[in-house]
Structure 1
Amino acid sequence: MARNAHKHAASATHWIALATCMALLGAALFVDFRWAYSSSSFSSSPPSATSAFLSLASNWALEKSGIIVFPDLGSRNESGDQLQEVRAQEDRGPGSDAKEKRDQGPDAKEKRDRGPDRFLSATYADLPAPDMKWEEMPPAPVPRLDGAAIQIDNLLYVFSGYRTLDHVHSHVDVFNFTSNTWGGRFDTPKDMANSHLGMATDGRYVYIVSGQYGPQCRGPVAHTFILDTKTKKWDKMPPLPAPRYAPATQLWRGRLHVMGGGKENRHTPALEHWSIAVKDGKVLEKEWRTEVPIPRGGPHRACVVVDDKLYVIGGQEGDFMAKPGSPIFKCSRRHEVVYGDVYMLDAGMKWKVLPPMPKPDSHIEFSWVVVNNSIIITGGTTEKHPINKRMILVGEVFRFDLDTLKWTVIGKLPYRIKTTIAGFWDGWLYFTSGQRDRGPDNPQPKMVVGDMWRTKLRL
């Protein structure tokens, strides 16, 4: 009897202890679940089934409303700023595929699976545009980036530019629109800039202004030149009051106008506006004259004269700079702001603000033609990706109707590309050269190309 009572007491004690342990374990699991749920936006572990469903539903709703979903690249610490700087250096410059190789590496799947997602406006995507039927033409003799060009009648003169960040061209290639052939190469002066030139023509003489001399991210020079396209002879003009990087340049009312661009460090936007009188390849004044400043400074803009009005379109503030202390002026990324502003200079030398481009656009200095009182612009670059800050290329063809002052998107290029060189002949819109995208699903820049394409343009 006593033994049975003791046995029952021990059994009861055992069950009480077991129940207590189970209760404590349940409480711990409950607290852990609540903590994980409340801090899921800071955790790198896989989301719960509930949070996965909510994320999927949210993504579907946002995609239906025109919002793009990008992975949150900032949710994981990549060993601090040092690794970020190393990767930024790997990705810089024409032809770099370091980013693409990393995207195919062993940690690529983990990056794709990592959450949560970040939602961005669709302005970073391609704009809706009708298809254009493009025909591939003979490529340029050399690939080039940030080159310059002038069309005179059926000839397109294409100047210098980068081949890679470490190699620049110092010659002119000529394309004949009548025969659709390249030929007639000739050299530029030894002290003439190699890229980011300002350039305009009166139909025979080409006026070349400032630009960057040498590879990588060297600063601009103040040198100016005149080319006689009939004789292939070069002459010098008075240097600019200060060096300028990719200034907006155009002939207007008997004067060569140079506006904006980047200052000596390539990054600081310039507002200055200078002009000098020229005629038939001769400079009629000894010094440049100061004119009304441009409302917004910066390089990489289209500058066009139509019906006695001067237009300055797009561009950016800021650009790559030389890395401090680098003996080769190695390029170092800096903050940039791309814009789609449009300004017009009227006869009273007053700037007027016109409707902006459909999206911010830069690197379009020689990407334009004038057709039927409209300005046509091909490609360029738009705002940087707001998370990884990488450049996003433009693949649209824009039209600015000067009768209505309205912008439209009239087509798509074969791929996204910046610093295109455009021409128009016998109803055909041509473009050549530049730096193209990494593929249909990746708008970041990759290869520098010399490809040439054309499409029949009907406005």
Structure 2
Amino acid sequence: MARPSGKQKSTKLVIVCVVLLGFGLIGDYLWASSPHFASSSYISNWVSPNNPQSNVIIPKQEPHLADTKPLKIKVDGVHDRSLSATFADLPAPELKWEKMANAPVPRLDGAAIQIKDLLYVFAGYGTIDFVHSHVDIYNFTGNTWGGRFDMPKEMAHSHLGMVTDGRYIYVVTGQHGPQCRGPTARNFVLDTKTRKWQDLLPLPAPRYAPATQLWRGRLHVMGGSKENRHTPALEHWSIAVKDGKALEKEWRTEIQIPRGGPHRACVVVNDKLLIIGGQEGDFMAKPGSPIFKCSRRNEIVYDEVHMLDDEMKWKPLPPMLKPDSHIEFAWTIVNNSIVIAGGTTEKHPITKKMVLVGEVFQFNLDTLTWSVIGKLPYRVKTTLVGFWNGWLYFTSGQRDRGPDDPAPKKVMADMWRTKLKLNS
């Protein structure tokens, strides 16, 4: 067989080069037009010092997602927490956190009520397939856990509404069972002196995580999610109560709340009723699942604050510094301010994952202004908050995956505290 000539070799080499160049251009075009590229970069003009007329495309992340040098803050005076510029972290002053004794069990979507120096911690998920049905008590004076006792078998295990008059704890509706099982309309009252339970008139309809408070002699229950766990409820009911008993034979319909949904803080202060944050939508049971397996749905988290006063009309107050949900038991009142720890905010704009909140917020009721007063040791949702003798405590909830990943991971039993001084 005759060997190819030099000219034939050159021609083939040129063809190969052209083909390779063509593949390269096509690949570059496909990469540049891909959703990943479009969602994480800008087209920008850059003037090269070597070629002032050159225009090039430079991938550039959104400012809040850009890589920055991590900020180091003290957690317990010894260990550092690194904060990267992940979505929605806000600048905040340093707080010195002290690790206390863990709760007897980890809890997610539990509930807590403080009466004097005792924090009563109720129910909650241990895992997605296991729920607690008991109460643990933390003594702030001795900084110890103890006094465990059982809840009624018919009482909800998560997404509870709860409030106290200083002796009696009113427990309203919520989810009965693990995964995404249905809600109950059953309500109960706990006498904290005798630790005995009694029934309270059921709600007109069951709800998940309704805003619940005592105001002017009446137990108010507002919003939450409807029976499918996802649809926001706007209804507002109340009933007169005294010494752990209902004084009426039926719930009274009140003015609807401005925006429905679960997982908001509900506070009575200075004879005003406030609802703060929350969300529309939640996980639902997967259709046909025998275990009611949870399935993610779209959620809208909001920053709105509304107040009900003497005119019995909802009035807007200054919104939170960012949307915040899963805060129904994550608040306390300190020096005429509402202090809120952690929660969840809008989902990550690129990964679409849930984003936990790691800030401590203050709402000054004298000036009606919000501020960030510190960082938690990690981002956390559905944490349970108390305040005693100048110390801010929080326990339980679900924490982030680490300093650089605000998505939820581990259900916690941790208890932390920090000395908190606020201007009145």
State the TM bucket, normalised to the shorter chain.
0.7 to 0.9
Corresponding letter in the other structure for 1:210: T
* C-alpha separation in 2, matches of 1:355 and 1:341: 8
Corresponding letter in the other structure for 1:435: Q
Tell me, yes or no, if structure 1 residue 257 matches structure 2 residue 220.
yes
Q: Could you say what secondary structure the match of 1:222 adopts?
A: strand
Contact preservation (8 Å) 2:272, 2:309:
yes
Q: Could you say what secondary structure the match of 1:400 adopts?
A: strand
Deviations along 1:79-114, whole A, 9 cap, x unmatched? xxxxxxxxxxxxxxxxxxxxxxxxxxxxxxxxxxxx
1:8 aligns with none
Q: Could you say what secondary structure the match of 1:35 adopts?
A: helix
* C-alpha separation in 2, matches of 1:449 and 1:242: 32
Shift of 1:172: 0.8
Change (3 A) 1:308 1:317: same
1:147 aligns with 110
* C-alpha separation in 2, matches of 1:263 and 1:230: 34
* C-alpha separation in 2, matches of 1:250 and 1:219: 23
Contact preservation (8 Å) 1:124, 1:383:
no
Shift of 1:387: 3.3
Shift of 1:386: 3.0
Q: Could you say what secondary structure the match of 2:26 adopts?
A: helix
2:65 aligns with 68
Which structure 2 segments of 5+ residues have no match?
38-43, 49-54, 68-84
Change (3 A) 1:251 1:143: same
* C-alpha separation in 2, matches of 1:42 and 1:56: 12
1:35 aligns with 26
Shift of 1:142: 0.9
Q: Which has the higher strand share?
A: 2
* C-alpha separation in 2, matches of 1:163 and 1:19: 72
Structure 1 segment 157-236 matched on structure 2, within 5 A: 157-236=120-199
| Equivalent of residue 312 in structure 2, options 349, 356, 359 | 349
Contact preservation (8 Å) 2:86, 2:406:
no
Shift of 1:183: 1.1
* C-alpha separation in 2, matches of 1:136 and 1:419: 18
* C-alpha separation in 1, matches of 2:120 and 2:57: 53
Contact preservation (8 Å) 2:173, 2:186:
yes
Deviations along 1:121-158, whole A, 9 cap, x unmatched? x7823111111000111111111111111101111111
Corresponding letter in the other structure for 2:239: I
Change (3 A) 1:41 1:305: same
Shift of 1:449: 1.1
Shift of 1:413: 0.5
Shift of 1:447: 1.2
Flag the structure with larger Rg.
1
* C-alpha separation in 2, matches of 1:328 and 1:204: 37
1:289 aligns with 252
1:373 aligns with 336
RMSD over aligned CA atoms reads 2.5
Shift of 1:56: 9.7
* C-alpha separation in 2, matches of 1:34 and 1:57: 17
Shift of 1:16: 6.5
* C-alpha separation in 2, matches of 1:289 and 1:375: 29
Contact preservation (8 Å) 1:262, 1:268:
yes
1:452 aligns with 415
Corresponding letter in the other structure for 2:105: V
Q: Which runs of structure 1 show a deviation greater than 6 angstroms over 4 or more consecutive aligned residues?
A: 13-16, 53-56
* C-alpha separation in 1, matches of 2:57 and 2:142: 56
Tell me, yes or no, if structure 1 residue 325 matches structure 2 residue 288.
yes
Contact preservation (8 Å) 1:146, 1:419:
yes
Between 35-44 and 183-192, the greater mean CA deviation after superposition: 35-44
1:276 aligns with 239
Q: Could you say what secondary structure the match of 1:182 adopts?
A: strand
Change (3 A) 1:23 1:431: closer
